[in-house]
Structure 1
Amino acid sequence: MATPSQIFYESLKTKATKKVYKLWLEKFFEYAHQDYDSIIKLEPEKIKQIIKDYVIHKKELTRKTGIPSPNSYNAIMTPIQSFLEMNEIEFSWKTIKNLYPQRIPTSNQLPYTDDDIRELLGATTSLRNKAFIHFLSSTGVRVGATPDIRIEDVKEIEDGAVVTIYRDTTEEYRTCLTPEAYTALKRYLEQRIEREPDSVLFTRKNNLTPLTPTSAQDVVRNVRKQAKLSIDNGRKSRRGKSQNHAFRKRFEITLASCDLQQRFIDYMQGHFSGNSKAYFNGVSDEQLYAQFKRAIPALTLDKSTKIEAEKEKEIRIIKEEFDGALKEKLEQQDELMQRMLSELATAKVFAYETRYTECFGGKKPDIQKLSKIMSNEEIEDWNRFIPLVQREQDWTIPTGTKSQEMLRDSKEKREIKDIIKRLKKQGDTSGMIEQLEKMLDVF
């Protein structure tokens, strides 16, 4: 039969949660002189009174020392409530929560500035530390996520990279590395002993042992001590800066100032709903990085690199504008050329209609008759322009079918017709016209 502690810890999903819940739960047991098994044997009202006494005890400590923070009571008491509920000991927590102290403004909420981060980078010679600081600065990732990131989770895109966070979990998302941050990461990995695709991205100082959540927290803490940032004088104030979360604050504010779409900003911080996640499943790494590129100049810490990136951006914009204008002009010229060709083709059709009136008059010209009376040159000319006039039907005349005799007959018929026209104009009454017309019937 499962014990109360087994039932409770089986309900928790992550190691980190189990660790925190165990800490606060056992502190409560220590105060109450109880354990996992004995506490659930007490009457619910007795348990409730012990919890109230515990809250009052904690409040006394808060008033005297400031610890625990008034804002942390939910975190302290939730493990106790969860343990009891999992063991089916339930009662109203309303009166207990009414005992919690009033919350105070949260401290350490400011973001790092570029100068702050440059000071941190200047305070360490470790390639690991530099890469880690650049990584947090560029990706905005939670420091607690870094121990689980693998080398294969980093995919190079252009000069930077796309990084998958919490791979193969329901919390999976992607964020990006600037070229500057990616360069720092590559320098660090080059001197690593273990750098297989499935190796962890960051290790401890020995370059072998993976970072733990605690050691990941310590990386920036230790560098910050070396840097002796002026902001450390007010760390526990509203003007203070959290050692790790201040990177995330800067990331969010910077992306917003660079006009990225809000849904991309939220996604690259791991803030998304089910619908949003479904949307980003269809967004490629290249598309994500294209959005991120807008923020690269602002996220870049090296001024020379930033200036170069801004110049490249200006050049790209100018080139795109020039290419666009050139394309538009060529399209206009092409349109004009097509219109001129169409007008020329229409004029040619009219000329042939005038010349060979007997072949026109219906819905379409008599192609077979035209093929007999036109010369090869005329047929070639006709076939060149007729598709410009008639696009729905094929009015081209087959070539290469006229025999020499047909060509000769066609020429003679034209000559006879010309003579008849001249005689008619002259008013000839000699009967010559009648004889010539009979000759035409022979052809």
Structure 2
Amino acid sequence: MVTPAQIFYESLKTEATKKAYKIGLEKFFEYAHEDYDSIIKLESKKIKEIIKEYVIHKKDLTRKTGIPSPNSYNAMMTPIQSFLEMNEIEFSWKTIKSLYPPKIPTANQLPYTDDDIRDLLGATTSLRNKAFIHFLASTGVRVGATPDIRIEDVKEIEEGAVVTIYRDTTEEYRTCLTPEAYTCLKKYLEQRIEREPDSVLFTRKNNLTPLTSTSAQDIVRNVRRQAKLSIDNGRKSRKGKSQNHAFRKRFEITLASCDLQQRFIDYMQGHFSGNSKAYFNGVSDEQLYTQFKRAIPSLTLDKSEKIEAEKEKEIRTIKEEYDGALKEKLEQQDELMQRMMLELASAKYFAYETRYAECFGGKNPDFKKLAKVMSNEEIEDWNRIIPIVQGEKNWTIPLGTKSEVLLRDSKEKREIKDIIKILKRRGDTSGNIQQLEKMLDEF
């Protein structure tokens, strides 16, 4: 016999969603002293009362500690509502939602300015880092999508390029590179050891290992720290700028200011509604790039004074005409963003739980063991995402002493040294050995 839990989880499309919803549901069950099977045996009126008590309990925690955030209640309660509806227990949620606390202004919502991005580019000498920052600024792509992009996904058009994101998936879409960004990308690829068409577009420091979601985020975080941008440096603030999403905000606002059709702006950000995606199946790369060309002068960072003046005029226009519309759109997207953040953090947690299964199994993970098997990058990534997934307990992992940190770093150094030894044995004369030795000096 199919259980209530099976019915519910079969309705969810992705593992990340299942993980996020499971966490939300089990927190509710723990509070209610119920489970998947027992809760649906209660009368609807009783269930509704329990849910109201749960919301009030959470509001009390919000008032005392700030956790959960007032903006997260929709995302927090959606798993409960979905589970009940999939098991044919329906009632009006209007009175329940009226208990949610008022939302507060969303933090870190401003876009990067051109000067911010110039500062980022000036703070690094790495061709990989420069190409990566140009890529984000020109395409508006999500940082999490970059590890899966291949060299063959970049198609040259005129002096720029069209890039396919999430190729061969239901989320596939295309966006574009300015001539400036494409030129920087080609310089980076020219010095790469591995650059076959099916090779990943961006690699880690050794130019061999594919970029991961964590290391992709680390690129911007580390360069941003080096640039010492006066934009709150990641602290939550109404005037702050999200480490990675600020690129997408600049991209969207810039395209809107250049009078691109809204359906093209949405498509080049991977936003689909109705039959909008089907429409773009018939739009060629050349047609897409023709639309994008309107924004090239404003997206380009190395501008003449004339282009700068034109851009300022366009920004004033967009501010006057679109402020109201943008504000409304951002409010509509707030709930979706909260849910996406939870799903992303939950997916990462699930990945670590799978990778280091021997450290899990009890009520809490074995943090001492995790600190020994994880790399420094993984520990920093864990500490960023874990408050979103587990906000009620402190699950952060200390980096430890300086010697412990250095010991973890030495693992990557050993990998590079091993590669150098192999190349020397083979008598490699292509210059790869010198590049790798230079990388060791940069550690």
Question: Does the alignment reach a TM-score above 0.5?
Answer: yes
Q: Give the match for residue 109 of structure 1.
A: 109
Q: Give the match for residue 138 of structure 2.
A: 138
Distance in 2 between the 1:290 and 1:96 partners?
Answer: 49
Alignment of 1:211-250 (within 5 A): 211-232=211-232, 235-250=235-250
Q: Secondary structure at 2:231's aligned position in 1?
A: helix
Q: Give the match for residue 367 of structure 2.
A: none
Q: Secondary structure at 2:239's aligned position in 1?
A: coil
Counterpart of 2:241 in structure 1: which amino acid? K
CA distance 1:60–1:217, change in 2 (3 Å)? farther
Q: Give the match for residue 10 of structure 1.
A: 10
* Bigger Rg over Cα: 1
Counterpart of 2:290 in structure 1: which amino acid? A
Q: Give the match for residue 415 of structure 2.
A: none
Counterpart of 1:65 in structure 2: which amino acid? T
Distance in 1 between the 2:212 and 2:29 partners?
Answer: 28
Q: Give the match for residue 160 of structure 1.
A: 160
Q: Secondary structure at 2:164's aligned position in 1?
A: strand
Distance in 1 between the 2:19 and 2:306 partners?
Answer: 42
Q: Cα RMSD over matched residues? A: 3.1
Distance in 2 between the 1:256 and 1:287 partners?
Answer: 18
Counterpart of 1:134 in structure 2: which amino acid? H
Cα distance, 1:155 vs structure 2:
0.9
CA distance 1:299–1:13, change in 2 (3 Å)? same
Q: Which moved more, 1:187-196 or 1:86-95?
A: 187-196
Cα distance, 1:301 vs structure 2:
1.7
CA distance 1:212–1:31, change in 2 (3 Å)? farther
Distance in 1 between the 2:33 and 2:180 partners?
Answer: 55
Cα distance, 1:257 vs structure 2:
2.4
- Cα offsets for 1:119-157 (capped at 9, x unmatched): 222333444333222111101123333333333221111
In the alignment of these two chains, the number of paired residues is: 309
Where structure 2 has 5 or more consecutive residues not aligned to the other structure, the ranges are 311-443
Asked if 1 retains the 8 angstrom alpha-carbon contact of 2:297 and 2:303, the reply is no
Counterpart of 2:82 in structure 1: which amino acid? S
Cα distance, 1:306 vs structure 2:
10
- Cα offsets for 1:103-125 (capped at 9, x unmatched): 22323221100111122223334
CA distance 1:306–1:22, change in 2 (3 Å)? farther
Asked if 2 retains the 8 angstrom alpha-carbon contact of 1:110 and 1:249, the reply is yes
- Cα offsets for 1:350-372 (capped at 9, x unmatched): xxxxxxxxxxxxxxxxxxxxxxx
Q: Give the match for residue 89 of structure 1.
A: 89
Cα distance, 1:251 vs structure 2:
0.9
Q: Give the match for residue 387 of structure 1.
A: none
Q: Secondary structure at 1:301's aligned position in 2?
A: coil
Q: Give the match for residue 69 of structure 2.
A: 69
Q: Give the match for residue 405 of structure 2.
A: none
Q: Which moved more, 1:178-187 or 1:206-215?
A: 206-215
Q: Which has the higher contact order (CA 8 A, sep 6+)?
A: 2
Distance in 1 between the 2:175 and 2:52 partners?
Answer: 44
Q: Give the match for residue 292 of structure 1.
A: 292
Alignment of 1:189-204 (within 5 A): 189-204=189-204
Distance in 2 between the 1:93 and 1:16 partners?
Answer: 25
- Cα offsets for 1:370-410 (capped at 9, x unmatched): xxxxxxxxxxxxxxxxxxxxxxxxxxxxxxxxxxxxxxxxx
Q: Which moved more, 1:113-122 or 1:23-32?
A: 23-32
Q: Give the match for residue 363 of structure 1.
A: none
Cα distance, 1:174 vs structure 2:
1.3
Q: Secondary structure at 1:292's aligned position in 2?
A: helix
Distance in 2 between the 1:163 and 1:56 partners?
Answer: 48
Where structure 1 has 5 or more consecutive residues not aligned to the other structure, the ranges are 311-443
CA distance 1:276–1:101, change in 2 (3 Å)? same
Distance in 2 between the 1:202 and 1:7 partners?
Answer: 41
Q: Does 1:56 align with 2:93?
A: no
Distance in 1 between the 2:22 and 2:305 partners?
Answer: 47
Distance in 2 between the 1:196 and 1:88 partners?
Answer: 53
Alignment of 1:335-414 (within 5 A): none
CA distance 1:77–1:201, change in 2 (3 Å)? farther
Asked if 1 retains the 8 angstrom alpha-carbon contact of 2:120 and 2:224, the reply is yes
Q: Give the match for residue 379 of structure 1.
A: none
CA distance 1:153–1:229, change in 2 (3 Å)? same
CA distance 1:20–1:298, change in 2 (3 Å)? same
Q: Give the match for residue 269 of structure 1.
A: 269
Distance in 2 between the 1:83 and 1:120 partners?
Answer: 45
Cα distance, 1:249 vs structure 2:
1.3
Counterpart of 2:113 in structure 1: which amino acid? T
Distance in 1 between the 2:261 and 2:52 partners?
Answer: 47
Question: TM-score scaled to structure 1, two decimals?
Answer: 0.61
CA distance 1:219–1:45, change in 2 (3 Å)? farther
Counterpart of 1:245 in structure 2: which amino acid? H
Asked if 2 retains the 8 angstrom alpha-carbon contact of 1:254 and 1:295, the reply is yes
Distance in 1 between the 2:33 and 2:215 partners?
Answer: 33
CA distance 1:192–1:26, change in 2 (3 Å)? farther
Question: TM-score scaled to structure 2, two decimals?
Answer: 0.61
Asked if 1 retains the 8 angstrom alpha-carbon contact of 2:204 and 2:211, the reply is yes
CA distance 1:304–1:274, change in 2 (3 Å)? same
